[in-house]
């Protein structure tokens, strides 16, 4: 775990290469997310963690492009989607179909494109 933490802190996408157990370790995934270049890191997290509200909220708040890899349930969560849209409006396409039609979110996406 210590080596994985060091690896993901220096290169977040190295999460792709750690064991499945570590991809399901919240500390390891958060270490990857908390780095400056965490674009798409959520893709390599376990499905359980891609459905973890706090972790996904943090991931999209750091880099909106992580929304694409959140669980379907969380891509349909307005608070999660709003957090992502505040960073980059272009990720509205990664929200659920229902939220893509939400006038408030459409406006927010346009403001942050």
Quick: pLDDT tens for 67-100: 999 999 999 999 999 999 999 999 999 999 999 9
The token pair at 29 is: 């995934």
Q: What is the pLDDT of residues 26-73, one digit of tens each?
A: 999 999 999 878 999 999 999 999 999 999 999 999 999 999 999 999
Rounded distance, CA 58 to CA 65, Å? 12
Residue with tokens 């977040």, as numbered in its chain: 12
Q: How many residues does the chain have?
A: 113
Give Cα separations from 97 to 75, 76, 79 (angstroms): 9, 8, 15
């Amino acid at each position: 775990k210590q080596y994985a933490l060091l690896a993901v802190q220096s290169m977040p996408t190295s999460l792709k290469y750690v064991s499945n157990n570590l991809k399901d370790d919240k500390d390891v995934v958060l270490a990857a997310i908390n780095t400056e270049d965490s674009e798409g890191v959520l893709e390599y997290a376990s499905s359980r963690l891609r459905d973890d509200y706090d972790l996904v909220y943090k991931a999209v708040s750091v880099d909106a492009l992580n929304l694409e890899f959140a669980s379907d349930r969380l891509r349909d969560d307005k608070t999660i989607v709003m957090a992502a849209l505040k960073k980059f409006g272009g990720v509205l396409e990664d929200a659920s179909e229902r939220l893509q039609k939400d006038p408030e979110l459409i406006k927010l996406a346009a403001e942050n494109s």
